[in-house]
Amino acid sequence: MTANYHTHSRWCHHGTGELEEYILRALEGGLQELAITEHVPLLGDPDPRRMQYDEFPAFNEELDRLVEQYRGKLRIIKGFECEYYPEMLDSYRKFREEYGYRLLILGQHRSSDHVWDNFALTQPGQLARYADDVCAGLRTGMFDFLAHPDVFMAGYKVYDRHVKSAMAQIFALCQELDIPVELNANGQHYKRNYPCPPVWEDARAYRLRCLVNSDAHTVDDLLCPSVEECAALADSLGLCRISTLAIRP
Ligand SMILES: [Zn+2]
Ligand SMILES: [Zn+2]
């Protein structure tokens, strides 16, 4: 493992550890690149389980300080993990353009109208909705990779034709747009039923670039064995696995 492009910290209110602890762990593990990708603050703060808007200046200041402090030792990339919420896209753009958050990840944890929790979907129609949201998000061109595409397996549990069809829609678009897809080691570590092996068997039918990330929410998550387990899953299936990302200027 030479890079991790999906990292949280205590700033998200459901993780632990200071930013600098993650940086030190990354250095211990020999990483060359570490993207800090907190859940993006949302206008109006509809979600208490993430950084609130008024916490952003302090977070940003600390992150900028650490980027400078570790320059030459570790390439720290400023990023955010974002849902596709149409009304928030301008604010995401502002984080990229004004504050240098150059890596924006699409991680669709809720439906784009904020109604459904995508960890708790049970109905086929909800999967279709999830696929439509993800595809609309990818089509904005704002996002650099798709986090945990099969996240809904946390709640949906059963691999059936509806899962197959939702994933076919998503994978076909990732292929068309050449957007990498993530095998998420956090889901693996906490046994959330994703990455879901049959989903990734189906992924072989597409030309996809696959990326393994820890999605760390604790310092110990960063280099935990599930990262290697996900890499082994991808390799055993013959998927095209990339280990570094070209970051946009
Ligand atoms: Zn999180
Ligand atoms: Zn995440």
> Could you report the per-residue pLDDT of 51-99, keeping only the tens digit for each?
999 999 999 999 999 999 999 999 999 999 999 999 999 999 999 999 9
What is the Å distance from ligand 2's center to 36 Cα? Answer: 10
What is the Å distance from ligand 2's center to 186 Cα? Answer: 8
What is the Å distance from ligand 1's center to 6 Cα? Answer: 10
Q: Note the ligand closest to the C-alpha atom of 47.
A: 1
Would you say residue 41 lies in a domain? Answer: yes
Would you say residue 192 lies in a domain? Answer: yes
What is the Å distance from ligand 2's center to 81 Cα? Answer: 6
Would you say residue 15 lies in a domain? Answer: yes
Would you say residue 150 lies in a domain? Answer: yes
Q: Based on the structure, what is the number of domains in the chain?
A: 1
Q: Note the ligand closest to the C-alpha atom of 81.
A: 2
pTM tops 0.95: yes
Amino acid identity for residue 31 in this structure: L
Give the three-class secondary structure for 134.
helix
**pLDDT number for residue 120:** 98
CA separation, residue 165 to residues 97, 145, 162 (Å) = 36, 20, 5
What CATH number is associated with residue 103? 3.20.20.140
Would you say residue 247 lies in a domain? Answer: no
pLDDT above 90 for 143: yes
CA–CA separation, 123 and 175 (whole Å): 26
Would you say residue 248 lies in a domain? Answer: no
Q: Tell me which residue range forms the domain holding 87.
A: 3-242
Q: What tokens were used for 25?
A: 């762990």
Would you say residue 10 lies in a domain? Answer: yes
CB-hemisphere CA count at 13 Å for 202?
20
**pLDDT number for residue 1:** 86
pLDDT above 90 for 237: yes
Please write the tens of the pLDDT for every residue from 5-21. 999 999 999 999 999 99
